[in-house]
Amino acid sequence: MDRLISTSISQRTRCREILGILMKSVALVLLCLTTKLSLAQSPFVAIIDMNMMILPGTQAYLTESIERAEKEGAKALIVKLDTPGGMLETSQEMIQKIFESPVPIIIYVSPNGATATSAGVFITLAGHVAAMAPGTSIGAAHPVMGDGKDIEGDMRTKAENMTIAMVKSIAERRGRNVTWAEKAVKESASITAKEALQLGVVDIMAEDIDDLLKRIKGKEFKIDNKTVQMADLSALPRQEFEISFKQRFTNVLANPNVAALLWLGATTGISLELYNPGAILPGTIGLICLILALAVSQIIPINQAAIALMAFGAILIGAELYKGTVILGLLGLICIVLGAVYLVDVGQAPGLSVALEFIVPVAIMFAAFLFWVAYNSFRVARKQVTTGLEGLIGEIGEATSNIATSGKVFVNGEYWNACVPTGLIEKGAKVKVVSVKDGLTLEVAKSA
């Protein structure tokens, strides 16, 4: 009886201990959640580092950062900008997000040596507050191709007029120097941070983030058509929002050179798979490249005629692999290179193109590949068959009987019926196979 009572007490003690541990765990979890919620709701300054081209992944980075800053209670979002430019259409969408942002966006061209070029000019002008670090520059907003060359023909005028109207409207809305903004597009004008401050292109020149936050105190700007005065943010904690892997990968895919490489990989891989069915690896690589290339077409505008030209080039190369004439391969190469050059639809994305310094090495590699294929095809065509009955032609054997219109020979480890066109070959003589008759009889001649 005493043992039963002792066991019962021991069990109740263990239950109380377990219950105590559970209650402490729940309390700890609630404390963590409460602390996290408190931190998320406390005011802070968000910072993003936009040291990259203006591409769809960059737009997604900015959009997500604005939404996160609003949700987590940031008092301002500082965009550290250093960009050579990028897609005009993407920059327009980013500017729209900045205009609609309920959180003040401070565009800060930094660090020393950074530049806000091309599309970077539009984004800087669009900020609620525009600032630059000493030693930085801004300008050269004239639309150009992706390789830095000028746009030619009617497209040049169209792109120029569109960007002038865009930059003027941004500068007017933010009360910045409209004359210089137009000059930056028309004449590719560029200025230093000090000049930008003097001309009213930017609001502040600041050494670093600490200096910037001190200088923007009391600065007036508009949000939702209401004039707002910037509070003192210098004492607030700062939190950096990192770009995600998906956004970085989107930017990689949005590069026109990568898009051209993917289409080249798709056409080459599929062509090799068709030439050698069952190889698997070329077809798998080609299929992966094709899927990624189709995904790219949803990110940047692709010229469908250029895709058709590249596909036709792939067909010609496929024919070359069978025929080995070289001509078809060269024509296919020309089609693929021309397709790559005109891959991006500049009508929808002025200034975006595949760089010639990328295309030329690829063309050389393709030419080398075709030469290799043609050379091997030529060797195979001249090489004698080494398998089956035809593989016996040219083989040396021994006559095992006298041979005239019929006889026996030992060739390649087997006994065969044999004959000679004229004359007689004696038993034991060395013979050479000249041809195969009826699949069973070898026509032979005396071997020298």
pLDDT reported for residue 37: 44
CB under 8 Å to 32, separation ≥6 — which residues? Answer: none
Q: Which of 51-65, 75-89, 410-424 has the lowest mean pLDDT?
A: 410-424
**pLDDT(379) > 70:** no
| Boundary residue ending a domain (382, 397, 413) | 382
Per-residue DSSP letter, 420: -
Calpha distance 112→68 (Å, rounded): 28
**pLDDT(143) > 50:** yes
pLDDT reported for residue 4: 42
Judged by DSSP in three states, 85 sits in: coil
Chain CA centroid to CA 99, Å: 29
**Is residue 338 located within the same domain as residue 226?**
no
Calpha distance 409→432 (Å, rounded): 10
Mean pLDDT value across residues 299-312: 85
**pLDDT(176) > 90:** yes
Encoded tokens for 243: 């770009």
The strand pair at 414-419 and 441-446 is best described as parallel
pLDDT reported for residue 208: 95
Mean pLDDT value across residues 181-193: 93
Would you tell me how many other CB atoms lie within 10 Å of the CB of residue 359?
A: 20
pLDDT tens, residue by residue, 99-112: 999 999 999 999 99
- We report the CATH number of the domain holding residue 415 as 2.40.50.140
Domain contains 11: no
pLDDT tens, residue by residue, 57-73: 999 999 999 999 999 99
Q: Which of 86-90, 166-170, 319-323 has the lowest mean pLDDT?
A: 319-323
pLDDT tens, residue by residue, 353-373: 777 778 778 777 876 776 676
Domain contains 198: yes
The strand pair at 137-139 and 190-192 is best described as antiparallel
Q: Work out whether the CA dihedral 287, 288, 292, 295 comes out positive or negative.
A: positive
pLDDT reported for residue 207: 95
pLDDT reported for residue 368: 75
Q: In which band, very low, low, confident or very high, does the pLDDT at 163 lie, cut at 50, 70 and 90?
A: confident
**Is residue 278 located within the same domain as residue 339?**
yes
Burial class from Cβ neighbours inside 10 Å (0-12, 13-18, 19+) for residue 436 reads middle
**Is residue 47 located within the same domain as residue 195?**
yes
Mean pLDDT value across residues 329-337: 82
Domain contains 27: no
pLDDT reported for residue 1: 46
Note the helical H segments in 224-355.
245-254, 256-275, 281-296, 304-323, 327-341
**Is residue 429 located within the same domain as residue 304?**
no
pLDDT tens, residue by residue, 7-19: 455 555 665 666 5
**pLDDT(349) > 70:** no
Q: Work out whether the CA dihedral 288, 294, 295, 299 comes out positive or negative.
A: positive
Encoded tokens for 135: 């030693």
Q: Of 132, 42, 58, nearest to 92 (Cα)?
A: 58
Query: Does pTM surpass 0.85?
Result: no
**Is residue 52 located within the same domain as residue 134?**
yes
pLDDT reported for residue 197: 96
Calpha distance 377→278 (Å, rounded): 20
Calpha distance 84→120 (Å, rounded): 7
Calpha distance 110→119 (Å, rounded): 16
**Is residue 86 located within the same domain as residue 218?**
yes
H/E stretch holding 426: none
Q: In which band, very low, low, confident or very high, does the pLDDT at 179 lie, cut at 50, 70 and 90?
A: very high
**pLDDT(220) > 50:** yes
Mean pLDDT value across residues 195-203: 96
**pLDDT(406) > 70:** yes
Mean pLDDT value across residues 295-305: 84
Could you give the number of structural domains in the chain?
3
**pLDDT(27) > 90:** no
Question: What's the CA dihedral at 368, 371, 376, 381 to 10 degrees?
Answer: 170
pLDDT reported for residue 199: 96
| Boundary residue ending a domain (363, 382, 401) | 382
Calpha distance 73→413 (Å, rounded): 89
Domain contains 83: yes
- For the chain, what percent of residues have pLDDT higher than 70? 79
Amino acid at 175: G
Domain contains 10: no
**Is residue 214 located within the same domain as residue 304?**
no
Q: Of 255, 265, 342, nearest to 303 (Cα)?
A: 342
Mean pLDDT value across residues 392-407: 88
Q: In what order do the strands lie in the sheet with 190-192?
A: 115-117, 137-139, 190-192
**Is residue 210 located within the same domain as residue 165?**
yes
Domain contains 2: no
**Is residue 110 located within the same domain as residue 180?**
yes
**Is residue 192 located within the same domain as residue 297?**
no
Domain contains 61: yes
Q: CA geometry: angle at 200 spanning 198 and 205, to 5°? A: 65
pLDDT reported for residue 378: 61
**pLDDT(312) > 80:** yes
pLDDT reported for residue 214: 93
pLDDT reported for residue 48: 97
pLDDT reported for residue 227: 85
The strand pair at 396-399 and 407-411 is best described as antiparallel
Encoded tokens for 291: 């899927």
**Cβ-contact 76, 44 below 8 angstroms:** no
Structural domain boundaries, residue 365: 261-382
Domain contains 349: yes
Mean pLDDT value across residues 232-251: 94
| Boundary residue ending a domain (360, 382, 404) | 382
pLDDT reported for residue 5: 45
pLDDT reported for residue 39: 45
More confident: 380 or 77: 77
Q: In which band, very low, low, confident or very high, does the pLDDT at 92 lie, cut at 50, 70 and 90?
A: very high
Tell me what the pLDDT averaged over the chain comes to: 82
